[in-house]
Structure 1
């Protein structure tokens, strides 16, 4: 049997194209609803048509892009209802994780996190856009301490979607400062070893983040206003 390596090279290029296009979508460099032409991607990624097309079909299977007959490829629209339902799952799982981690984190870990958050306060006031989301490290610490493989597995399934929504929320003026205050509340409850308080503070933070995303998207397009009724079961 002749093995010349070409199938492997073709597959590798297709995967590279897939990763690059997906990253642009998740980072919102390619906005929901925007057109995607193969020629633009060929020039952008310096690749031939075949790996680009294979990447697009793979992204279509994952619902990141759609192919409209006689019109071409588009970045898939974001459903506001999908966001709400996903954040309901996130609120429950991260709330449980915060509760469980409260009694498991050491005083040293909590003290280090307190110093880290304190170090960001001035930077956020000076140049909010230049500061990474202040809560990422705290979330990672909580998941690690909660040590629940089933929660981690479920969250991993939706990691890509959450990353996109994270970019949306972080880009809103004032959102990072608000996030910093919310994470301070979570941390203070954990320092006090208040499991109920930590869970409720985390739930409020997740709802606040979701609300910011939904309201921002509805401002961008009136069509989103018909897609969902915010918090149908009451105020967050």
Structure 2
């Protein structure tokens, strides 16, 4: 049982990493046979790994064809980000009313970690920190239902970032998310709910615009 679990995890990590590094791009077919040959393992753990990747929005399993790297439509991107705007602005309003100085310190530390991740070109670290920045207001909002919904939407958004974000090719000085996140945290620091909502709105619309306009570097 342990070996099977290890093989599933290995297959999952290898395919996900290939997508993150743009070695596999949206619309490209990924077969169990190819992964099996590449990793020298049976197809059973690969099938399980594919299901995990599908749940994360990174691949789509097509009957009789296998897996295809997912290529979200602009409408899907718009639907997810518009809903994120509504929920994250509401979370911000609740968070500002109950925040502590320790919460501010935590958010400031996340900003530092984001800069470190960009400078190190560590996409996985960036994804993790980016998620914390967007979810944390909901964590301290006191509304667990809101928190779970924002987590779900962020998981889908993570998939879009992995599929479409040009993390490895955008120079540090041209990165938009860092100053946009700084604006959000600065409003949080000042307990300015209106400005925090405006900053969240501007940031998510900016990200949506970029993701909608980008295409794979292989196309």
Contact 2:61-2:67 within 8 A present in 1 as well: yes
Q: Does 1:83 align with 2:77?
A: yes
What TM-score do the two structures reach when normalised by structure 2?
0.73
| Structure with max Cα Rg | 1
Q: Does 1:129 align with 2:137?
A: no
Equivalenced residue count is 211
Candidates 7, 16, 19, aligned match of 1:23 = 16
Encode CA deviations 1:99-135: one digit per residue, 9 max, x unaligned.
Answer: 21112221243145336636866x689x473585464
Distance 1:25 1:103, change over 3 A: farther
TM-score, structure 1 as length reference: 0.69
Task: Indicate yes or no: 2:177 matched with 1:179.
Answer: yes
C-alpha displacement of 1:55: 5.0
**Residues 30 and 68, structure 2, Cα contact 8 Å, conserved in 1:** yes
Alpha carbons of structure 1 residues 153 and 29: separation in structure 2 relative to 1, 3 Å:
farther
The 1:182–1:128 alpha-carbon spacing in structure 2 relative to 1, beyond 3 Å, is farther
Residue 146 of structure 1 pairs with residue 138 of structure 2: no
1:46 shift after superposition: 2.7
Partner of 1:204 in structure 2?
202
**Change beyond 3 A, Cα 1:43–1:112:** same
Over aligned residue pairs, what C-alpha RMSD do you find? 3.8
Q: 1:50 to 1:198 in 2, by over 3 A?
A: closer
Residues 162 and 18 from structure 1, CA distance in 2 versus in 1: closer, same or farther, beyond 3 angstroms?
A: farther
Aligned to 2:42: 48
Answer whether contact 2:110 2:133 (CA < 8 A) is retained.
no
Distance 1:76-1:31 versus aligned 2 partners, 3 A rule: same
Q: What CA distance in whole angstroms lies between the structure 1 residues aligned with 2:149 and 2:210?
A: 24
Query: Can you give the 5+ residue segments of structure 1 that lack an aligned partner in the other structure?
Result: 1-7, 222-236
Distance of 1:140 and 1:156 partners within structure 2: 7
Aligned residue for 1:190, secondary structure, equals helix
Gaps of 5+ in 2: none
The answer to whether the 8 A contact 1:105-1:145 is kept is: yes
Provide closer, same or farther for how the CA distance between residues 169 and 95 of structure 1 changes in structure 2, counting only shifts above 3 A: farther
Task: Please tell me whether the aligned partners of residues 18 and 55 of structure 1 are also in contact (alpha carbons under 8 angstroms).
Answer: yes
Aligned to 1:65: 60
Cα distance in 2 for partners of 1:25, 1:90 equals 27
